[in-house]
Amino acid sequence: MKILTVVGARPQFVKAAVISREVANHPEIEEVIVHTGQHFDSNMSDVFFEEMSIPKPKYNLDIHGLNHGAMTGKMLEGIEDLIIKERPDVLLVYGDTNSTLAGALAARKLHVRVAHVEAGLRSFNMAMPEEVNRILTDRISNLLFCPTDSAVRNLEAEGYDAFDVSVIKSGDVMQDAALFYAKESAEKAKLSKDFLDRDFVLCTLHRAENTDDPNRLKELVEGLNRIHSSTPVVLPLHPRTKGVLEKQGLKLNVELIDPVGYFEMIELLKHCSLVMTDSGGLQKEAFFFKKNCVTMRDQTEWIELVNNGFNVLASANADELIEKFELMRSRSNDFEIDLYGGGQAAKRIIADLVKTVKSTTLTNA
């Protein structure tokens, strides 16, 4: 059995690490990793493969820095050539990036089954490119690995019961990763004890819905600056966000640091008092490390975190952002509830992939 895995962005490297580690327990499986190049900065890409012992990609398409259409088109072309060359049984994609959609579309056109890890998530905001990517990827996938009950319900509401697909509640591979790598992070993270042992808020800001809207970005910058005046805000600055801030003449008066590797992010999560983010993945990681979260968006795919009080949405308004910060800083939560599968997602995913390929092979024989 051969799996062609397509990755391109930081969260996908982390998820791929979990699956690749489980694949290593199955000598009958060959995995070929393709890196599209979507995240090309060494701090955003190479470091993850090195630190997390992910098998090096066999192919790197080196596609980045383009508009959505051009980027997705070039990825589609490159992945199509590799599918023809490698002849995989399954193409595996993660999440909701342009790399995800391009991989799924290339495989489907060539009649190769598609497995989508993190299927069924919905923000219900079609202005988000990620929402478009995940909906289209789900619709052309054969195996839909859903991390949560709400993701399964979303697909049921969209009529997937009538489609010739397998909808599987697998749990979330990001929890697998958090539990596994948390044991190594203190030793491997390149952050000083003095830097970590203090009261601080961990923040990330990079979503296009925030950075591409001058008014939203201005309000968020003002709110974060005001919070930082009383509680230190540590913000690993995404290169794209840095460029937008400079272009718009906005000054983030918080503690800016360079983008960090996964082990550094785990240590920041362990030691912070609160998370403020517009990232999808970091909302869950906050929960995994028992931290409350303020999500600087109007919607979230991880609705179970909001419903259970671990997360709160804050629109792009400085006063509201501060109000939600104060609310979550003082809220006490019980983090023992199992929302994401308890760290067994990779085993479930690989077991279902093997079962599906074997049953199809027998049927064809």
- Active centre residues (catalytic): 206
Burial class of residue 135 (count of CB atoms within 10 Å of its CB; 0-12, 13-18, 19+):
middle
Tokens of 85: 């060359």
CB atoms within 10 A of CB 127: 11
Instruction: Please provide residue 265's backbone torsions phi and psi, each rounded to the nearest 5 degrees.
Output: -65, -40
Report the alpha-carbon angle 215-217-221, nearest 5: 120
Rounded Cα gap, residues 265 and 85, in angstroms: 37
Instruction: Please provide residue 93's backbone torsions phi and psi, each rounded to the nearest 5 degrees.
Output: -130, 160
CB atoms within 10 A of CB 53: 11
Rounded Cα gap, residues 160 and 321, in angstroms: 37
CB atoms within 10 A of CB 306: 16
CA-nearest of 1, 10, 56, 64 to 34 is: 56
